Amino acid sequence: MKFNSLKRAFASVVMGAALPSMLFASPAQAEEILKAVSAFPKPLAFTQSFLGYVDLVNERGKGVVQIQHIGGPEVFPSSQQVAAVERGIVDIHYGPAGYHLGSMPEADAWLGSTITAAEGRKNGGFALMEKAFKDRLGVKLMAHIDSGIKFHIYTIGEPQKRVDGSVDLTGKRLRTSPVYKSFFEALDAIPVSAPVPDIYTGLERNVFDGAGWPIVAIQDLSWDKFLKYRVDPGFLQTDLSIVMSPAKWDSLSPEAQKILQDAAIEYEQKSYDQFQTIIAATDTKVQEDGMTIVRLEGKAANDYLDKAYDAVWNRMKASNSPLYEELKKAYYQR
């Protein structure tokens, strides 16, 4: 009996000593789950690339932070996704900065860029874009991934060349986006706006004579069934961003922030390298499957590119962006 009493007394002392630390110890940090949306459907090469970033974070962030991709345009229309991030409805968005040209004219800096995203981060261009995203759209810029992918004009019928070697697209109805609308106008084509899901039907019904699109993903969307000609060289480049809710970012632990930021910086270069391989493979495949390349050369090619780059940089200049001069110095080195 004395032994049992002694055990109980010892246990009371131990519990008494431990109680203050139990009362005042901070709870273990719970794993953060961040919800993400993408501007494009999941099967598209661009969304698949974004999911590579998601996988990288999830691999490194076990027990700390995870990203859950909840969908694409079927969840929120692409044009409304950044606003959903700003309001905190979702935490992360991946998609083109050019979708928001009306609110953020500085998006043209990436479209008119002649350098890689990694180079822009090193020379201070990325920091300028961080400011634009924060001031104009109310979101935190995390990364400019999938850079270095050129746009092309694709047509159903063979485009003719003029005597000087330039391509004649006068009066051609080309599906456009805000990104290259002014460039198409400079070529005397007729820009026709349409969301991505409607383009296949538009091509099928001859609503368009052609379309502007990056060199990749034409076959993902089955547009190559109609688009049999591609005009080279490619112009401008992709402007795909990963942005995050500032409030959510501020609520994360320093460890979670570091995982997200380190992965973003690493993935800018990784996605660039991956897409260079995809571009080469796509170019070979579409030509094997019957696409004809209409190649501009010499002065005709230079004039064509001048019109493309002038269109976007002049558009930003006309917007009176206070960042115009600095952004052009950082990103335009042609």
User: What are 268-302's pLDDT values in tens digits?
Assistant: 999 999 999 999 999 999 999 999 999 999 999 99
Q: Which residues contact 322 (CB under 8 A, 6 or more apart)?
A: none
pLDDT at 26 over 90: no
Q: Is the CATH number 1.10.580.10 carried by domain 151-237+290-329?
A: no
Q: How far is CA 146 from the centre of its chain?
A: 7
C-alpha 27/C-alpha 15 separation (Å) is 19
Q: How far apart are CA 117 and CA 268, in angstroms?
A: 6
Q: 231: which strand partners?
A: 153, 294
- Two tokens at 260? 């997200």
State pTM to two decimals: 0.86
Q: Are 175 and 202 in contact (CB under 8 A)?
A: yes
CA distance 113 to 241: 14
Model pLDDT for residues 168-200, shown as the tens digit of each residue: 999 999 999 888 899 999 999 999 998 888 899
- Cβ(129)–Cβ(109) below 8 Å: yes
Alpha helices, DSSP H only, in 205-253?
Answer: 246-251
Q: What distance in Å separates the CA atoms of residue 248 and residue 261, rounded to the nearest whole number? A: 14
Provide the pLDDT for residue 29: 66
- How long a stretch of residues is the chain? 334
Nearest to 94 by CA among 106, 103, 77, 81: 81
Are 158 and 227 contacting, i.e. CB atoms less than 8 angstroms apart?
no
Residues 6+ apart with CB under 8 A from 8: none
Q: How many CB atoms lie within 10 A of CB 230?
A: 24
Q: What is the pLDDT of residue 197?
A: 81
Task: Examine the pLDDT at 71 and tell me if it is beyond 80.
Answer: yes
SS3 content of the chain, % helix, strand, coil (to 5): 50, 20, 30
Does position 27 have pLDDT exceeding 70, yes or no? no
Looking at CATH, the fold of the domain delimited by 32-148+239-276 is given as D-Maltodextrin-Binding Protein; domain 2 (3.40.190)
The answer to whether 144 touches 267, Cβ cutoff 8 Å, is no
pLDDT digits (tens, 9 = 90+) for 303-324: 999 999 999 999 999 999 999 9
Q: Which of 178, 173, 179 is nearest to 154 (CA)?
A: 173
Residues 6+ apart with CB under 8 A from 282: 215, 216, 218, 219
Closest by alpha carbon to 265, among 116, 133, 138? 116
Mean pLDDT in the chain?
A: 91
| Delimiting residues of CATH 3.40.190.170 domain(s) in the chain | 32-148+239-276, 151-237+290-329
User: Residue 267 CA to chain centroid, in angstroms?
Assistant: 12
- Average pLDDT of the residues in 221-226: 93
Residue 302 CB partners (closer than 8 Å, separation 6+): none
| Helices and strands per DSSP (H, E), number in the chain | 12, 13
